[in-house]
Chains A and B, each alone.
Chain A
Amino acid sequence: MSATLSSLPPALMLLGSGFGVWTLGALTALFSGEKAKHHVFSTIMLLGSLFLLLGLFFGQGDIYTFTLLSPLNFVLAPLALRIEPLSALFLVLLGIVSGAVAIFSTGYLTHFHERIHAGIYWACTLIYVTSMGLVLMASNAIVFLIFWEIMALSSVALVASDTVRQRAQRAALIYLGSATVSGALLTGGFLWYFHIFNSWDFASWQNNPSTLGPALLVFFAIAVQSGLWPFHIWMPYAQAEAPTPIAALMSGAMEKMAMYAVIRLFLINCSDGLVIGYLAMFLGTVSVLWGILFALVERDLKRLLAYSTVEQMGLVVLSLGLVLLCKHNGLTVLAALAFSAALLTCINHAIFKTLLFFGAGSVDVSVGTRDLSVLGALGRSMPITMCCFLIGSLSISALPPFNGFANKWLIYQSLFQSSFNSPQVIDRAMALLVVGILGFVGALSVACYTKAVGICFLGRPRSEAVTRAKEGSRDMVAAQAVLAATCVFAGLFIPQILNMAGPVLSDVVGVVPTGKELFPLPVWKVALLGGLVFAAVYALVFKNSPVSKFVTWDCGYGDLPVRAEETSTSFSDPIARIFAPLLQYRISTEIKGRDRRHFPEVIRFETVTKPILEERLYRPIIGLLQTLSKGLAQLQTGSIHLYLLYVFFTLLILVGIGIRL
C-alpha cells in the first residue's frame, strides 16, 4: 500500500487529499447533525481548497489519467478520471471560489443558526464542491452525468436550506424543475451519442458529421443549467434565496461547469460547429441584453446579481459560439482570441461575482434586507465592504484598469476582427452589429452597477434599519478584501494570466499566441498616469484649499426629507420607460383628496415590472402540464379492481411485444 502511495506524483496526492478532506468532512457533517460547528467545517472546506490549489500548482501542465475503485465500476463505464490543462484551469477556479466561500461562511452563517440546519448544510456544501470537481475530471459520459446530477441535486437542497422562509422552498422547487429538465436533456443527448459512437468515452466522440441531434440536446441541457435566455428564469429565484455562500458557489463556480461542458463537448470534439456556433451566438447575445436589462430594474440586490450572471454567461457563450464559427472558417488566430476571451471571462466572473455576492450577503446580514429602496449610506458604517463592492462593480462593468475590462476587450476585439476577416458578408455584418449591441450593454451595465453601489452605499439612509448597520465580521471582510485585491492585481497582469492559459489554448484551438499578442494594451501606463494625476492634484491643488462642510443644496428650502432622494426605482425609471413593453413596466398613480387638486390627502404611485417570459411562456406551459396531470390523475381512482385491470392490460401488452420481438 505504502509503495503504491509513494509512487504517486505529489500533485496527484495533494489533489486526492483535497477531495478526501471534502468527502470526509461531508460524512462527519452528516453525523454531527445540528450541533455541527460552522468554523470547523469552513476550515475543512478551506483546507480542501488549499490542497486542491497546491496540487494544481505542482501539477501545472501535466496530464493524469486514472481509474478510481476499479473493481467497483459504475454499471456501464469505469470511474475514469482525467486531469488535463483545461480541467485543471476550471479546477483552479473551483478552488479559488470555494476557498473564498469557506473564509466567508462562518461569519455569515452564525446569523442564521436558527434557520439553517448546520449538519445538513455542510454535508450538502461539501458534497456540492466535491461533485463539481469530479464533473471537471470525468473522462466519460457516465461519470460526468452522475456527478452532474449530484451537483444539481445537492445545490437544490442547499437553496432550500433556509427552513423558515417560504420563498426559499418555492425557489428550490423552481430550480429543481429546471435541473430535472437539464438532467433529462443531458441523459438523452449522452444516450444518443452512445448510440452513434458505441462508447461512453469523451475522447472517442469525434469527427462524426451526424451528431447534430444529440449535440442540440446536450447544448440545451447546458443552456438550462447555465441560465441562458430563455431558460434563465430559475436563476433570480434560486440565487437570491440561497444562502449567500451557496449563491456565490452557484454563480461563481457551478455556471462555469456548464461552460466547461460546452468547451469539452463542442470545441474539442469539433463537429457541427456551424449550427451550434450560430445558436450559441444568438442565445448568448439575447442573454446578454436580457440579463442586464432585467438586472437594471431589479430592486433586490441578490436578484440583480443573479440577472447579471445571465448577462455574463451570455458573454461567455457568445464568445464560445464565435470560436466555433472561426474554427469552422479556418480562422485559427481569431479563434484563439475569442477562446481566450471566453476563458478570461470565466476566470474573472468567478472572482468578481463571488465578491459581489459576498457584498450583498454582508449587507443582508447587517441590515436584514436586500431591498435597495430601504438601503442607502451604508458606506459610512461599512467602509471596507463598500470599497470591495465598488471594485467588484467596476470590474464587472468592464472598466479599465480592473480585470473585467480585459475579457470584454478581448470579446470586442475578436468580434471586431471577424468583421473584416470572415469570408461571408453575413458573418461580418453580424459581428459588427454584435459589437454595437455590446456597446449598448456596456452602458446598461454601467447604469446597473452605479445604481447598485450608489443607492446601497452612498447618499442618505432611506430607513431606520440602515442607521444601525455595522461592518461585517472579520472573516467576511477578509474574504472580500482578498477577492477585491485579486481583481485589481489580475487587471494589471492580464498578459501573464493569458500566458498561463497557453496549454489550454493549444489543446482547443491549436495555436498559442503569447499574452502580449492577445492583450497589447498599455493598461499599466494608464494606471500609472492616473496615479501621477492624483499625486499632482493632491500636492498642488487640494493641499492649499480649505474645506468646509455644509448641507446638500436644497434650493434654500431647509432640510429636504429623505424621500426626496433618488431611489432605485426612480433611477432606472427613464430606461424602464423606454423598454416598457419588454419589462412589462406599468405605472399607476392614484390621487385622492376632497376635490383639492393641489392639496390631495393621498397620493399613491406604483410601478410594477413583471418577468414577461414567466407570464407569457412558462405559465401557459405549466398550466398545460397541470391540466394534463389532472386528466392523468383520473386514472388513479384508488379502486383495487381498476388497478388489477391495469396490471392485466400491461401484462397483455408486454406479452404481445415479447412475441413480436
Chain B
Amino acid sequence: MSTALDTLANWSAFVVFALFAPPIMIGILRKTKARLQNRIGASIFQPIFDLRKFLRKGETISTVTSWVFRNTCVINLAAMIAVACMVPWVSFKPPTSGADIFFVIYLFALARFFTVLAALDAGSAFSGFGASREVTLALLIEPAIILSFASLGCVAHTSDLNQIFSFSDQLIQNRNSLWTLAGTGLFIASLVELSRMPVDDPTTHLELTMVHEAMFLEYSGPNFAIAEYTHYLKLCVMFGISGQCFLHAIPYFWGAGPVIQAAGSIAVLLMAIGTIAFIESTSVKLRWTKLPEFIAYSVAVSLLCVFIAIIRG
C-alpha cells in the first residue's frame, strides 16, 4: 500500500513540476536577461499569466489553412508530454517503460514534421522560410544528438535512457570525460534545437531572420498558448537532460540520496538557464551561413564521445 502511495506522491510531484516549472524557468530566464541588461524586468511568473491570458482569448486563423494547422500544436504537445514522461530530465521523474533513445528522438521528429507542415499550411512567405531553415538546422544537429546519446548507451550496454541516467549503472560510472563531452554536445545541440542564441534570436521582431518564431507567426489564442507551453517544456527537457549528463560526471552525486540528486537537477537546470541568459545578453546572432560551422562543434564533440566509447568501451 505504501509503495502505491509513494508512486502516487512521486507522480504528482513530477506532474506539478512539469506543469509549472517550464513557464517559471522562462520567467527566470527573462528576468536574468533583464537584470543583465540593467532593466528591472517582469515578474518570473509572467509567462504563467501570459499563458492564462492566451487560453482565455479567441483565436484568429488564416483562411488558407487546413486541419493540419489547427491540430499541429496539440500533436506537438502530446509528443512532448510523452517525451517528458519518458526522458529522465530531472532525477525525481518516476520510472516509465520505453524511454528508448531512438524512440524519443523520433518523437521529436514527429513534432517537427507537423510543425513544418503547419508552417507551410498558411502559405505565408515567412513561415515557409522558417520551415525551410528549421529542417536544415535539424538535419545538421541530428547526428550530434543521436551520437551523444548512442555513445553513452554504447558504454552502458543499453538504449534505455532511464537505465543510463539512473545513477546506478556500474558500467558507466566514473566515465567522467564521456559524461562531460556528451553533456556539452547535447547542450550545444539544444541551443540549436530550441532556437536560442547564437542560432536564432527568440526576441527578434524581424520575420525574415526568424527560424522558430516565424513558424508560429500565424498562431493566436489558445493554440498559441499550447505552442508556447510545449516549447517551454521542450526547453526544460532538453537542458535538463544535458544537465543530467554533467551531474553524472560528478562522482559526489552517484552516492548521494534522492533529495540531493533532485536539488542537483534543479540547480543544474537553473545554471543552464543562467548560461543562456548570459550568452543571449553578450553575444549576437550568427549569420545564417556561419551556422554550419557552429553546429560542427557539437558534431565534433559527439564524434569524440563515439571515439571514447569505442576505444574504452
Contact = CB atoms under 8 A, between A and B. Distances in A.
Contacts of A565: 123-125, 128
A173 B126 CA distance: 44
Interface in A617-641: none
Given A529-B82, A545-B58, A439 B147 contact: yes
Given A447-B138, A545-B57, A547-B58, A428 B310 contact: yes
In terms of DSSP, what is the predominant structure of the interface of chain B?
Answer: helix
A553 B65 CA distance: 12
B282 to A, nearest CB: 27
Interface string B292-309: 100000000011001001
In terms of DSSP, what is the predominant structure of the interface of chain A?
Answer: helix
A458 B68 CA distance: 9
Contacts of B85: 529
B62 to A, nearest CB: 4
Interface residues of A, number: 79
Interface in B97-114: 97-98, 100-103, 105-107, 109-110, 112-113
A420 B156 CA distance: 9
Contact of A439 (B136, B145, B153, B154): B145
B135 A447 contact: yes
Interface in B56-88: 57-64, 66, 68, 71, 74-75, 77-79, 81-82, 85
B63 A549 contact: yes
B128 A571 contact: yes
Interface of A: 376-377, 379-380, 386, 390, 394, 397-400, 405, 408-409, 412-413, 416, 419-420, 425, 428-429, 432-433, 435-440, 442-444, 446-447, 449-450, 453-455, 458-460, 520-522, 525-526, 529-530, 533-534, 537-538, 541-542, 545-555, 560, 562, 564-566, 570-575, 578
A429 to B, nearest CB: 5
Interface of B: 55, 57-64, 66, 68, 71, 74-75, 77-79, 81-82, 85, 97-98, 100-103, 105-107, 109-110, 112-113, 116-117, 119-126, 128-129, 131-133, 135-136, 138-143, 145-147, 150-151, 153-155, 157, 159, 207, 217-218, 221-222, 225-226, 288, 292, 302-303, 306, 309-311, 313
Nearest 10 pairs between A and B by C-beta? Answer: A566-B128, A454-B120, A439-B146, A447-B135, A460-B123, A443-B139, A459-B123, A533-B78, A443-B142, A530-B78
Contact of B64 (A386, A459, A564, A574): A459
Given A428-B313, A429-B306, A550-B60, 14 more contacts: A376-B123, A409-B106, A416-B159, A432-B147, A432-B154, A432-B310, A450-B116, A450-B120, A459-B128, A537-B226, A545-B222, A547-B61, A552-B123, A574-B288
B109 A553 contact: no
B81 A533 contact: yes
Contacts of A449: 113
Nearest to A430: B310
Nearest to B160: A520
Contacts of B112: 446
12 contacts: A416-B154, A432-B306, A435-B147, A447-B135, A458-B123, A526-B98, A530-B79, A549-B61, A550-B60, A550-B62, A553-B218, A574-B133
Given A432-B147, A450-B116, A550-B63, A399 B110 contact: yes
A85 to B, nearest CB: 29
- Looking at B77, B136, B207, the one whose CB has the most chain A CB atoms below 10 A away is B136
A454 B127 CA distance: 12
A518 B109 CA distance: 23
Contact of B120 (A455, A541, A548, A554): A455
Nearest to A573: B132
A571 B132 contact: yes
Contacts of A440: 139, 142-143
B31 to A, nearest CB: 28
Given A454-B116, A571-B128, A530 B60 contact: no
Given A460-B123, A542-B222, A450 B109 contact: no
Given A459-B120, A551-B63, A522 B98 contact: yes
Contacts of A398: 106, 109
A347 B107 CA distance: 23
Nearest to A453: B117
Contacts of B60: 547-550
Contacts of B222: 541-542, 545
B103 A400 contact: yes
Contact of A400 (B106, B142, B154, B309): B106
Contact of B124 (A394, A525, A553, A570): A553
A394 B122 CA distance: 20
A615 B45 CA distance: 61
B64 A460 contact: yes
Contacts of B153: 416
A420 B309 CA distance: 9
Nearest to A546: B58
Given A413-B159, A458-B117, A545-B58, A419 B74 contact: no
